[in-house]
Amino acid sequence: MKREITFNFTTEQKMFKGFVTTMQPVLNLRDREADVFAQLLYYNYLKRDIKNLKDRFELVFSSKTKKLIMQNLDIKDSILQNTLSILRKKNLIINNEIPLKYHIYLTDGKIELTFKFNIKN
């Protein structure tokens, strides 16, 4: 059996938030952690043309990007730093990089996510 659910968003940034919100129970994230992680995924996506991951993540984790995240989420630096530490403990950030399995790229303005539920005897 196959079911499809479609979510529509007005911006790419909101789409990343929707994606992380959907994955929140799987990733075991609290709301603030999900908000920050969605922002990091979004900024990683914006810098996707930089193929060298080290160079890309220097920009994603730069003070300029962190200021943008703080403005977007209306949070203070101390809250952002604490949340980044929690994301590191949850291995969603490793050595100031987001692991490849969490990199999200849009195809024709879409993200497709498939869940498979299996019963194994």
pLDDT of 54 reads 94
Residue 94 φ then ψ, to 5°:
-130, 120
Does residue 3 lie within any of the structural domains? no
Does residue 6 lie within any of the structural domains? no
Q: Which domain holds residue 83?
A: 12-102
pLDDT of 110 reads 85
Does residue 46 lie within any of the structural domains? yes
Does residue 121 lie within any of the structural domains? no
Number of domains the chain contains: 1
Residues near 117 by beta carbon (within 8 Å), at least 6 away in sequence = none
| Mean pLDDT over each residue of the chain, to the nearest integer | 93
Residue position matching structure tokens 């530490």? 85
Does residue 115 lie within any of the structural domains? no
- How would you write the pLDDT of the chain (121 residues) with one tens digit per residue? 888 888 888 999 999 999 999 999 999 999 999 999 999 999 999 999 999 999 999 999 999 999 999 999 999 999 999 999 999 999 999 999 999 999 988 888 888 888 888 999 8
- d(CA 76, CA 62) in angstroms, rounded, equals 16
Name the pTM for this structure: 0.90
Does residue 2 lie within any of the structural domains? no
pLDDT of 113 reads 82
Does residue 112 lie within any of the structural domains? no
Does residue 59 lie within any of the structural domains? yes
